[in-house]
Chains A and B, each alone.
Chain A
């Protein structure tokens, strides 16, 4: 039990005999609520039971899963859980891949954030503007300040087209598009519907990007889309990547490059873009290479949230330095990082976030109990790769093991095939949307799929 004294906008907590529940952690709302009990000007004290605060920044995939998990285990008499997001809409980002081709509608990919959060969790729609790790406070755009005992950063990553000269120039959203945002994917749908063909360039600006296979999938789906429209012969598709091949891991690269060839998609690799020439419609790289386009579909530089930069907590791309095994930040012991916001060397993907969440959840509980953290996260990633014409590939890998062929999730049985095209994999990819909304976000266990990668059923 604690006693709260209000002096010059500050709160000091003291032990006291009487109890009164203080549920609210927001200084602003404390001042509002406390008005009925005390007059701040006179420094009159009120007594109340003080609860500790877990604050989650970002209510996307990562934050939502964490809120659902923590609420089941954390003692509600001792802890408040608060989650804040700049918006009140949750986007199903994997659906942005399908939106431009009219496979999904707008309604398929957006739902209210609140409907995925448990009632016991306090949701605040506000944009964090600064994290003050020394003071254990987060400042918000509205002027609120929230104190935390444990902070979970889940602010994801976003695209920044201003990183490359000319990218968001006069041709932006005319002949230069992205599909990594809801608006971008929608604008591209309009463009594709009336486009008469020419040179389509699908391009990755620099690594890392979230869902690194999405641009490849986009190329495959474009091949299928224009084929069905009876105009594939009018479209020349080129895939341009800063990597040395279609993918970073050798066996998957081999497989994917074979597919590109089969679908008549050209590949330009080791392309480090320097600028976009709006007038002549071409992209140029530092070594002097040039690729002309009529329609450029690019994935601009992916960066962590601005609040990370403003707080001085990130690397050169605003990703937070994080321990790759425990998911504790390197900034401060009571700050943890989940999902795309980390700098750990694995894919930025919803499936990865889901696996991380299991490990992080355990470590947050351990931290609260003052126990040693476990370096359990193995980098596990599991991604469907849509290859068009109703088929997909599936890859499963971690820090140490590259994607190989085999069966998943049940060794020797499947029903999914690893690193092989199949219809079943395609249905798996489409079913993922249902799994995402109904199981993944709510932190319900997904049958047979474990946080740590299994070596069984794989042909190494």
Chain B
């Protein structure tokens, strides 16, 4: 189910878990607002991770925590410090891309 959501003056499409369903609607302002909703205050390091995630997504590379740990951008420990609890979920949500399929 896709719902419309108002955020910092933009309308975005999100699914029931709050993940954006149309990446073309994303911009940094929206990213910032989504971060605030998830209790993250963005720093340049956070943005570095988000940019990496978005680039991989655009290249159709499946994402995983292990992949990010090997990205050279952050190691897994830092990734958890930046986005506590469920870092991949939170980071992909902020990045405006679908929740990674953790392959079932």
A contact residues around B86 at 8 Å (CB): 244, 270
B contact residues around A13 at 8 Å (CB): none
Interface size on B, residues (CB 8 A): 18
Q: How far is the CA of A343 from the CA of B67 in the complex (A)?
A: 13
Verify if A368 is at the interface (C-beta below 8 Å from B).
Answer: no
If A248-B102, A249-B104 touch, whether A317 touches B84 (CB-CB below 8 Å) is no
B67→A316 contact, CB < 8 A: yes
Verify if A212 is at the interface (C-beta below 8 Å from B).
Answer: yes
Q: Write the nearest CB–CB distance from A277 to chain B, whole angstroms.
A: 17
A207→B85 contact, CB < 8 A: no
Interface string of B70-104 (1 = CB under 8 A from A): 10000011011000111001000000000001111
Q: How far is the CA of A315 from the CA of B56 in the complex (A)?
A: 13
Q: How far is the CA of A346 from the CA of B85 in the complex (A)?
A: 25
Cβ-defined partner of B80 (8 Å) among A208, A243, A272, A343 = A272
Verify if A287 is at the interface (C-beta below 8 Å from B).
Answer: yes
A contact residues around B104 at 8 Å (CB): 207-208, 212, 247-249, 346-347, 381
Verify if A286 is at the interface (C-beta below 8 Å from B).
Answer: yes
Interface string of A276-291 (1 = CB under 8 A from B): 0000000000110000
Interface string of A372-394 (1 = CB under 8 A from B): 00000000010000000000000
Q: Write the nearest CB–CB distance from B30 to chain A, whole angstroms.
A: 23
B contact residues around A247 at 8 Å (CB): 104
A316→B89 contact, CB < 8 A: no
If A272-B76, A286-B80, A316-B67 touch, whether A208 touches B85 (CB-CB below 8 Å) is no
If A247-B104, A287-B84 touch, whether A317 touches B62 (CB-CB below 8 Å) is no
Interface string of A256-280 (1 = CB under 8 A from B): 0000000000000010101000000
Verify if A236 is at the interface (C-beta below 8 Å from B).
Answer: no
B103→A287 contact, CB < 8 A: no
Q: How far is the CA of A418 from the CA of B44 in the complex (A)?
A: 48
Verify if A171 is at the interface (C-beta below 8 Å from B).
Answer: no
The secondary structure that dominates the B interface is loop
A345→B66 contact, CB < 8 A: no
Q: How far is the CA of A436 from the CA of B102 in the complex (A)?
A: 27
Cβ-defined partner of B62 (8 Å) among A242, A243, A244, A343 = A343
Verify if B40 is at the interface (C-beta below 8 Å from A).
Answer: no
B77→A206 contact, CB < 8 A: no
A-B contact count (CB 8 A): 54
In chain A, what residue has the closest Cβ to B86?
A270
Within 8 A of A (CB), among B9-68: 62, 64-67
If A212-B104, A272-B76, A287-B84 touch, whether A206 touches B65 (CB-CB below 8 Å) is yes
B contact residues around A248 at 8 Å (CB): 101-102, 104
Q: Write the nearest CB–CB distance from A241 to chain B, whole angstroms.
A: 10
A316→B66 contact, CB < 8 A: yes
Q: Write the nearest CB–CB distance from B63 to chain A, whole angstroms.
A: 11
A contact residues around B102 at 8 Å (CB): 207-208, 242-243, 248
A contact residues around B76 at 8 Å (CB): 272, 274, 286
Q: Write the nearest CB–CB distance from B60 to chain A, whole angstroms.
A: 10
Considering residues A244, A274, A343, A346, which has the most beta carbons from chain B within 10 angstroms of its beta carbon?
A244
B65→A272 contact, CB < 8 A: yes
Q: How far is the CA of A275 from the CA of B64 in the complex (A)?
A: 18
If A206-B65, A206-B66, A316-B67 touch, whether A270 touches B103 (CB-CB below 8 Å) is no
Q: Write the nearest CB–CB distance from B64 to chain A, whole angstroms.
A: 7
A207→B103 contact, CB < 8 A: yes
Q: How far is the CA of A274 from the CA of B80 in the complex (A)?
A: 11
Cβ-defined partner of A346 (8 Å) among B64, B66, B80, B103 = B103
Within 8 A of B (CB), among A197-252: 206-208, 212, 242-244, 247-249
In chain B, what residue has the closest Cβ to A247?
B104
B contact residues around A287 at 8 Å (CB): 80, 84-85
A-B contact pairs, 26 of them (CB 8 A): A206-B65, A206-B66, A207-B103, A208-B102, A208-B103, A208-B104, A242-B65, A244-B89, A247-B104, A248-B102, A248-B104, A270-B85, A270-B86, A270-B89, A272-B76, A272-B80, A274-B76, A274-B77, A286-B80, A315-B67, A316-B66, A316-B70, A317-B66, A345-B62, A347-B104, A381-B104
A interface list, Cβ under 8 A from B: 206-208, 212, 242-244, 247-249, 270, 272, 274, 286-287, 315-317, 343, 345-348, 381
Closest 10 CB pairs of A and B: A208-B103, A286-B80, A207-B102, A345-B101, A248-B104, A270-B86, A212-B104, A287-B80, A347-B104, A207-B103
